[in-house]
Amino acid sequence: MRMPRSGFDSTAPRRRTLLAASAASAFLPLAATGTAWGAPDADDAYDTLLARAAAQLTGGAFDAADPDFAAALKVLDTQASGWWRQLDRSAGRTALWADLSPAKDPGNFGQSYTRLRTIATAWATPGTSLSDSAEVADAVLDALRFLHTEAYRPDRPETGNWWFWEIGAPRALMDTCVLLRDRLPAADLTAYVSTIAKFCPDPDRRTNAPTLSETGANRADKAVIVALRGLIARDAATLALARDGLSDVRDKGKNSLFTYVTSGDGFYEDGSFVQHGSVAYTGTYGSVLLGSAGQLIALLADSEWAVTDPKTSVLYDAVDRTFSPVLYDGLMMDALRGRAISREKAPDHQDGAVTVTNILQLASGAPAAYAERWRALAKGWIRRNTTTPYLRLVGIPALARAKAVLDDDAVPATDRLTGHFAFADMDRVVHRRPGWALTLSLSSKRIAAYEAGNGENLHGWYTGDGMTYLYDGEDLGQFGDGFWATVDPYRLPGTTVDTRQRTDIGSGGGTGTYRPKNAVAGGTVLDGRYGAAAMELIADGSTLRAKKSWFFLDNAVVALGAEITAGDGRTIETVVENRNLHAGGTPRLTVDGRRRPSHPGWSAPLPDANWAHLEGTGGYVFPESPGSPAGDGQDGPRLHALREDRTGTWRAINTGADTGGSTTPVTRRYLTLWLDHGASPTSSSYAYVLLPGASAAATAAWARSRPVHVVANDATAQAVEARRSGLLAAHFWQPGSAAGITASGPCTVLVRRDDDGVSLAVADPGRTGATVRLELPFPVREVIRADDTVAVTPGRRPVVTVRVDGSRGHAHTAALR
């Protein structure tokens, strides 16, 4: 098991607290500092890079009269001066802060260094109440000595969470040393460098487990720490070690951050990012990797230690391939944030802001073609999010880069990304339309359903069981406004669940993941526009089994479930929607043209509903399912609706040492729609259609005209036909026929026929087959284009043979006529 990261940031001062602010006068230069080592030599490479490292922390020169900078400066000053007032400077102290006692505890000394870094940053930033104060500088230096004596020194063995010893504390300590470098006595400097050399000697290995190679974000973080140690110690070999750590020179590139992986941690060619072996972690660990690697590239640029690995293009390409699809108007999609969803101080907009910041930082040293595109992307993200404005979330360094982009008329603001993205290597699907996006979180024996540990993500039981996240451009606070503290964790949208009571997960030390036993999870994408996905549900701690599929169209998402079976005597539910209406929302719910009550506490069965519409969200249609029970003595699932105010606390889902939530009650209102399959169902099924952004009238018209037909929903196949767009979409669980397509074995198929010909996409999300043979229901004369894994025999009943073995669930495509 891997242990957790502290918060969501271990680069620069904590991004969620070091925001900055407080007006001062006109233009303010970088803080001038006294010198304990003699005046810096402008031609000295170490001094040049140390000044650059300090500027990365403070932001360099800025106009304090600018309202945005003034606000950021005030935030920094408020946070730092608060820690300063609470700092225990007494001779007999046992801790620096009363709430971080005893200081010897790893979580406590780790957070103590972080607070000292915040104070040091305010000291080094002109315009704060602590700026250039000799009293503050001396107190911070004394506090560093206290921590070295009492808590963090080379002769202490690692205990508790390794992260505090090897990443959290050394990073904050090195940053503080950079800021106070001209006041640090040589003896102190030597002591701190020796300590960090003990616990973070190189980026390559875990110090408390030397046989474990560092990967992904942890490697990137350690590379920055080693580089700062090299600068402080003026050691060329250590700087080279840091640079080479990014490329894993030691192990001949095996764990290079600039190499695509096919298993385990790192970037995948399909845009996936995995950390901790099996967790989809683009939104936190991936972002940290991007930030730390980008920071080190910028720090060492134009020096003898510059990063020159030609494969840095992997990192650059990740912005478009990995991060852009999962950023929605500057929000980081929760399906990619792992256990961080339970962190009160790190909601989706905060982690999104961190990622945007890291992208703009990387742009500062990237080739022009990349940088121009990223700045345009960032401008669009920042401008569109007026709910949680980026400029209020970030500190002075990030603010300076963002304002330069926003003020540059030559930089266009890119529109919202549209398209369908199937991340086969991390069991995630993202479908993006102009006004909305839907993310699907799956899991399998390869990718974890959840990660929990060290008190984090205590109720994450069903987040990987087919949860659907609907993002609406008009409601950017859906998941960031108290959602995880208040939502019913047994009723997450898209999931089929056994209603058994669950206990907290991850409350003990260390982190762990749960990977279910199913093989099938994933799907395919056609023309970058349409998608299909499936997951075999093998529930944890229950006999519940289900076959679930989703079909992603231009303006709709069709969800099908079949073979829903359980034998534990408990009720099984499929959750259609559980919408956060915020503190007191009363959007209109209309069912089959009739308005339903809007007061909290209303609940009703809706067994004969054909359609429903939630004002401000969209429509829901409930077509008949070909797989509905017939002759087995059971009725089909019954729709229910509920409006309720739910109260919870962040502490109930996160008790982490440095990420634990508050006990303050939070109340949010919800509208829930769910299908009740009854107790211990046998071969139950469901079918519903999401129409995001649709009006009530459009939803009613859709329900009447049924432009998409459910043509199969059983143990053999789940399939739909969208005749207007000429699309057939199916997932085959076994050999059989559906929608006119015959398949020789399990696979996901999308076929579209129009005046220009036929386009085809096939995948094997279960990764169990070698080849799949398909017969199509219409004639094909010739092959226009086909992947080398696809063979086509034209004719009146054409045959397509796809070699799926070894393709890891990715799509195989062809264009026919």
State the catalytic residues: 218, 276, 285
Q: Which residues contact 652 (CB under 8 A, 6 or more apart)?
A: 458, 459, 485, 661
Q: Which two tokens stand for residue 701?
A: 């018209």
CA 688 remoteness from chain centre:
27
Q: Which residues contact 756 (CB under 8 A, 6 or more apart)?
A: 817
Which of 748, 744, 524, 713 has the alpha carbon at shortest distance from 628?
A: 713
Helix axes 216-233, 186-199, angle to 10 degrees: 150
Read off the DSSP letter of residue 510.
S
**Do 720 and 729 touch, CB atoms closer than 8 A?**
yes
Round to whole Å and give the CA distance between 610 and 624.
Answer: 9
Read off the DSSP letter of residue 795.
B
Round to whole Å and give the CA distance between 224 and 170.
Answer: 10
Round to whole Å and give the CA distance between 105 and 78.
Answer: 27
SS3 376: helix
Q: Do the strands 589-591 and 611-614 form a parallel or antiparallel pair, or are they unpaired?
A: antiparallel
Q: At which residue do the structure tokens 């720490």 appear? A: 225
Round to whole Å and give the CA distance between 706 and 32.
Answer: 70
**Do 492 and 564 touch, CB atoms closer than 8 A?**
no
Q: Which two tokens stand for residue 164?
A: 């505090």
**Do 267 and 318 touch, CB atoms closer than 8 A?**
yes
Read off the DSSP letter of residue 16.
T
**Do 621 and 699 touch, CB atoms closer than 8 A?**
yes
Q: Which residues contact 576 (CB under 8 A, 6 or more apart)?
A: 493, 559, 620, 639, 673, 674, 675, 688
Q: Which residues contact 498 (CB under 8 A, 6 or more apart)?
A: 539, 541, 542, 544, 566, 568, 570, 572
Round to whole Å and give the CA distance between 221 and 293.
Answer: 8
Q: Which two tokens stand for residue 340?
A: 């961080």
SS3 812: strand
